[in-house]
């Protein structure tokens, strides 16, 4: 346990004018009041208030807050009274201690109806003096650091409460370091295996790559010195929970995450911040969409900094934060910077937010709220980092993941409501179904008899419940349509090899493919679960073999090293006859791109990975996929004629997907297997001449607009 002298020394480091005698009296009073009390770990109980006070010295807080930390449990757990504390240490400290006591008694994680009223009391206490919550957050941080002494079930309860309430609250107050530590300590309890797996992978990564942080900070310091900029550079690996959350959000494994390192540059002036940004971007390539200027547009809690992400050594992405020392002080302590001391006086930090104004802005919209449940969902749950909570017209609360849409909301209420959804109103205003819902919004789902789920809903919905229900309904609703479409694809596929799609041929194929019957086969063909090529091959394998004189796909590209493998890039789908270039990947061989592929710009700074390639000049088999974006008239027989035309050009349809359906037209993506670029141009020219085809384009993922026909 820290002694009174050591605690006073910590305060003197930032406030030489501290009232040491007053802090010592508070220390002795707290020690006396808690005499005979012990923590779960067996330590004297008073070691906890002292540790909380020490945490608050890291934020350079005033004497009253430090004394409150030392006494924060005396009114609740000892014979000390409010009057006694006020008599010995003044009304200011007594009110703060009383405020912390009341917060401790609030059951913020309770499932009972009083939870809403408790949260209202939390914000009322914060509005009176924000230092109350600063002490409470430090109290929770120390409890989480020493949580192992608690019973397992109590650990889980405290960890969940920390993750759901205290960590987001610390983040809202701008105390990001505290938020990260609280989250990671809770993560250690709630998912120890997940945390250990992250740490193990980090150790493996460091063993393979060495001290990346040391190398990159050295590179950054070198660039800043060249630019004549005086600055401090710090680097760190992100916390295990931060990495875990990023893996969940991006649905990626650890090996695919790139920006797991963060770097901070502290400059002497705002002007130097922007000069530093220029030096960093001049040396490393900036990642598009990952730049934020919080200096020109500060956050509501006073946070100012420039954020950018750049590609560092070995193509690794690293996040860089650039700020001045004063901005850094606010970034570290958030709203608490208002009380910070330095050299015995309150810090005149121009970036520190007035706490009274901050809490007023936070609670203003709820001042006249009479419904406690509405208050709870709109205030408490707005702090959650990964969930949104919305209301039905009757006031029921619906919990959804962040990013959810009205479609998810409808299915969360009932599958029947989801199926019949035709629109939605959010806060009484009609909105598109792809609108992202926010905390506290009221959502009214508009339904209609006869409405059924649409294919496009799968791209809109984010919850597993909604997507599963939509897929199940689509399979039933679309079965007949898929069977009809499957008949057209089967007819075109068999005609492509000079045969007819008879019932006997389809029955034979279904038996060979181990499907129930030909109707199941046609339904799978129409829903793109089966290709026409696979269907024909099941009956006439000898007719689907490649031409013996055709060039094997394995040796179609010239310019590779002996034994080197290649894959066509899915973004541009290069075809024989197009100018191509290869990009090497360690352990994966070469990926071939068309020379005009947008994605090649990602490799401009790595010329050593480029390989000069070209296609073999002979005849190629029709096995190279390309995607056509077609808009066709919504008339009987049109799709069948399109499939026939494609078959006549000796091109095989491998997949077909409807993108948009309107009363007068369909827009669909058709994947076709071709020999070369010449066959593609010939096919597109023929389709363009068809009267029922409104538009035909070659689709490429990376292009801002598709490459038009001709």
Select which of 43, 58, 77, 688 is catalytic: 77
Instruction: For residue 72, give the nearest of 21, 142, 119 by alpha carbon.
Output: 142
Instruction: For residue 314, give the nearest of 343, 337, 287, 284 by alpha carbon.
Output: 284
CA-to-CA distance for 486 and 174, rounded, in angstroms?
58
CA-to-CA distance for 137 and 145, rounded, in angstroms?
12
CA-to-CA distance for 74 and 89, rounded, in angstroms?
13
Select which of 24, 58, 76, 270 is catalytic: 76
Mapped onto helix, strand or coil, the DSSP state of residue 336 is: helix
Determine contact, residues 435/421, Cβ cutoff 8 Å. Answer: no
Q: Which two tokens stand for residue 212?
A: 């990346």
User: 4 — alpha (psi -120 to 50), left (phi > 0) or beta?
Assistant: alpha
CA-to-CA distance for 612 and 313, rounded, in angstroms?
25
In angstroms, the Cα distances linking 188 to 55, 145, 262, 492 are 21, 10, 21, 59
Mapped onto helix, strand or coil, the DSSP state of residue 665 is: strand
Q: Which two tokens stand for residue 119?
A: 């949260």
Q: Which two tokens stand for residue 603?
A: 């490799």
CA–CA–CA angle 660, 661, 667 (5° rounding): 50
Residues in the chain: 710
Determine contact, residues 536/562, Cβ cutoff 8 Å. Answer: no
Active site residue 181: no
Burial class for 265, CB neighbours closer than 10 Å (0-12, 13-18, 19+): buried
In angstroms, the Cα distances linking 55 to 134, 135, 157, 639 are 10, 9, 23, 71
- Give the side-chain half-sphere CA count within 13 A for 689: 8
Burial class for 221, CB neighbours closer than 10 Å (0-12, 13-18, 19+): middle
User: Helix 82-105 crosses helix 114-128 at what angle (to 10 degrees)?
Assistant: 130
At residue 674, φ and ψ (nearest 5 deg) are -125, 165
CA-to-CA distance for 218 and 225, rounded, in angstroms?
11
Active site residue 608: no
CA-to-CA distance for 433 and 393, rounded, in angstroms?
17
Instruction: For residue 266, give the nearest of 187, 359, 329 by alpha carbon.
Output: 329
Determine contact, residues 79/36, Cβ cutoff 8 Å. Answer: no
At residue 34, φ and ψ (nearest 5 deg) are -95, 10
- Give the side-chain half-sphere CA count within 13 A for 494: 17
Cross-sheet strand order for the sheet of 566-568? 557-558, 610-615, 580-585, 589-594, 566-568
At residue 319, φ and ψ (nearest 5 deg) are -90, 135
CA-to-CA distance for 690 and 546, rounded, in angstroms?
30
CA-to-CA distance for 263 and 269, rounded, in angstroms?
18
Determine contact, residues 50/1, Cβ cutoff 8 Å. Answer: yes
Burial class for 549, CB neighbours closer than 10 Å (0-12, 13-18, 19+): exposed
For residue 4, count other CB atoms closer than 10 A to its CB.
18
Q: Token match 């449940």: residue?
A: 373
Q: What residues are labeled active site?
A: 76-77
């Amino acid at each position: 346990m820290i002694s009174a002298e050591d605690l006073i020394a910590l305060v003197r480091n930032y406030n030489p004018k501290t009232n040491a005698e007053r802090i010592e009296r508070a220390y002795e009073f707290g020690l006396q009041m808690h005499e005979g009390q012990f923590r779960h770990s067996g330590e004297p109980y008073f070691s906890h208030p002292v540790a909380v006070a020490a945490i608050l010295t890291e934020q350079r807080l005033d004497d009253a807050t430090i004394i409150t930390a030392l006494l924060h449990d005396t009114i609740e757990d000892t014979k000390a009274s409010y009057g006694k504390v006020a008599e010995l240490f003044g009304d200011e400290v007594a009110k703060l201690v009383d405020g912390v006591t009341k917060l401790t008694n609030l059951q913020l994680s309770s499932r009972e109806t009083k939870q809403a009223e408790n949260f209202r009391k939390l914000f009322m206490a914060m509005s009176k003096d924000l230092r109350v919550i600063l002490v409470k957050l430090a109290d929770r941080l120390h409890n989480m650091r020493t949580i192992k002494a608690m019973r397992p079930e109590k650990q889980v309860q405290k960890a969940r409460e920390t993750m759901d309430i205290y960590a987001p609250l610390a983040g809202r107050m701008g105390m990001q370091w505290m938020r990260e530590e609280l989250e990671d300590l809770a993560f250690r309890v709630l998912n120890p295996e997940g945390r250990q797996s992250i740490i193990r992978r980090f150790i493996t990564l460091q063993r393979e790559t060495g001290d990346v942080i040391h190398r990159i900070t050295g590179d950054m310091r070198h660039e800043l010195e060249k630019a004549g900029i005086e600055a401090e550079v710090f680097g760190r690996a992100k916390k295990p929970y931060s990495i875990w959350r990023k893996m969940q959000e991006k649905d990626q494994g650890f090996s695919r995450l790139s920006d797991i390192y963060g770097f901070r540059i502290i400059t002497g002036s705002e002007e130097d911040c922007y000069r530093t940004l220029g030096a960093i971007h001049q040396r490393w390539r900036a990642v598009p969409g990952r730049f934020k200027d919080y200096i020109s547009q500060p956050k509501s809690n006073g946070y100012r900094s420039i954020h950018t992400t750049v590609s560092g050594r070995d193509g690794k992405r690293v996040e860089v934060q650039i700020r001045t020392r004063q901005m850094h002080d606010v970034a570290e302590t958030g709203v608490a910077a208002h009380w910070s001391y330095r050299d015995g006086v309150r810090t005149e930090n121009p970036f520190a937010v007035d706490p009274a104004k901050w809490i007023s802005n936070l609670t203003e919209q709820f001042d006249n709220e009479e419904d406690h449940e509405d208050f709870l969902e709109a205030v408490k749950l707005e702090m959650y980092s990964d969930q949104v909570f919305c209301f039905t017209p009757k006031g029921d609360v619906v919990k959804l993941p962040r990013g959810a849409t009205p479609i998810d909301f409808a299915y969360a209420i009932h599958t029947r409501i989801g199926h019949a959804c035709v629109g939605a109103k959010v806060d009484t205003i009609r909105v598109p179904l792809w609108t992202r819902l926010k905390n506290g919004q009221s959502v009214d789902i508009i339904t209609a008899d006869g409405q059924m789920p649409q294919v496009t809903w799968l791209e809109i919905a984010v919850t597993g419940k909604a997507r599963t229900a939509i897929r199940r309904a689509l399979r039933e609703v679309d079965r007949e349509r898929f069977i009809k479409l499957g008949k057209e694809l089967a007819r075109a596929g068999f005609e492509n090899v000079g045969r007819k799609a008879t019932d006997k041929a389809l029955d034979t194929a279904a038996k060979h493919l181990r499907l129930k019957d030909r109707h199941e086969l046609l339904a799978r063909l129409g829903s793109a679960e089966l290709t026409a090529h696979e269907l024909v091959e099941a009956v006439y394998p000898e007719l689907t073999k490649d031409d013996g004189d055709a060039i094997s796909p394995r040796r179609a590209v010239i310019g590779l090293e002996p034994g080197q493998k290649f894959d066509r890039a899915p973004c541009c789908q290069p075809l024989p006859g197009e100018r191509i270039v290869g990009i090497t990947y360690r352990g994966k061989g070469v990926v071939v791109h068309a020379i005009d592929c947008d994605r090649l710009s990602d490799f401009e700074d790595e010329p050593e990975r480029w390989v000069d390639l070209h296609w073999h000049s002979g005849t190629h088999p029709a096995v190279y996929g390309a995607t056509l974006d077609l808009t066709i008239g919504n008339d009987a027989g049109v799709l069948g004629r399109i499939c026939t035309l494609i078959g006549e050009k000796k091109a095989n349809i491998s997949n077909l997907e409807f993108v948009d359906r309107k009363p007068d037209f369909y827009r669909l993506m058709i994947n076709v297997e071709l020999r070369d670029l010449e066959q593609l141009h010939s096919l597109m020219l023929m389709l363009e001449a068809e009267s029922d085809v409104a538009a035909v384009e070659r689709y490429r993922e990376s292009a801002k607009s598709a490459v038009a026909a001709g």
